[in-house]
Amino acid sequence: MTRKLDAEIAVPAQCELAEGPVWDAARGLLRWVDILRGQVHALDVISGVHSSFGTGEELGTAGLTRDGGLVLALSDRFALCDHDGQNLRRLDGFTVDGSVFRFNDGKPDPRGSLWAGTCTLAEQGPPCTLYQLSPDGTVTELFGDIGLSNGLDWSDDRTEFYFADSYGGGVDVFGTDPDTGALGARRRFAEVSDGLPDGLTLDAEGGLWLAVWGSGELRRYTPDGRVDTVVSLPVTQVTSAAFGGQDLSTLYITTARENFTPADLAAQPHAGDIFACTPGVTGRLPFLFGGKPQDANGG
């Protein structure tokens, strides 16, 4: 039987398009981005202080770095900055066509690189691509033919890479070389027919938590692809999730209010807020950008 859970408001953030939550254990902060407003947000979970800084443009994701800063996928290029947004340095040598694409979701991988994919600005545009930014600044195209690049994560043993193409109807899993990170055979992990697969995260038991845009739900899939838990939200645009807190037992969920009309906002006043629940399983520390390859707990 599928377990049903509810979530409470953790931050009345009122974001346009909150995405990419990540737990900053070194500072005790939950971080996330508001893509369309170009902001990086942070919540001190002890004090309840909510802060943010702007990047001056849209951005797809913000990852943590091994030196305590942030790595960003801005609208059309990569960048680095201090943890508070100071000293923002746009990296030269690579851009996507900003008239057609912008960066969307992404995360650092177990080997210290940032993986981030694109989406098109038009309703129907050309195929998108998943890219890898190495710590030395090299950018590699991993694969293309993507409708809308979204959630991604790696298994503890580094032999599987999970990826959601929002227009592809589900989540796929790739075999990966645990030593090099090279991608191998691809297969369908889970089908989604009643919404768009969006951001995702794995828990410490290998369960996959998937935000399903348009459904008002965050779903947990067991390692064999079955739904065993559903978290119901009072908003339709559920975007992503990440575990946080000192013991990584709190599941934080980001949401959006993209293209909402006044009537939509009246019906869903908490769209764009950050929610939280305690599902009874714990998460894993995020991987960090830069330096040497890391273990499966983000170290």
Q: Is 105 a catalytic residue?
A: no
Q: Which residues pair with 133 in a beta bridge?
A: 114, 139
Could you tell me where the DSSP H helices lie in 145-190? none
Cα separation of 154 and 13, whole Å?
29
* Active-site residue, selected from the candidate residues 198, 224, 247, 264: 198
Dihedral-angle region of residue 253 (phi above 0 means left; psi in -120 to 50 means alpha; beta otherwise): beta
DSSP 56: S
**In this structure, are strands 3-6 and 227-232 parallel, antiparallel, or unpaired?**
parallel
- Residues 6 or more apart in contact with residue 264 via CB below 8 angstroms: 257, 271
Could you tell me where the DSSP H helices lie in the chain? 262-267
263 phi and psi angles, rounded to 5 deg: -65, -40
Cα separation of 277 and 260, whole Å?
25
- Residues 6 or more apart in contact with residue 186 via CB below 8 angstroms: 172, 173, 174, 175
Which residues are marked as active site?
198
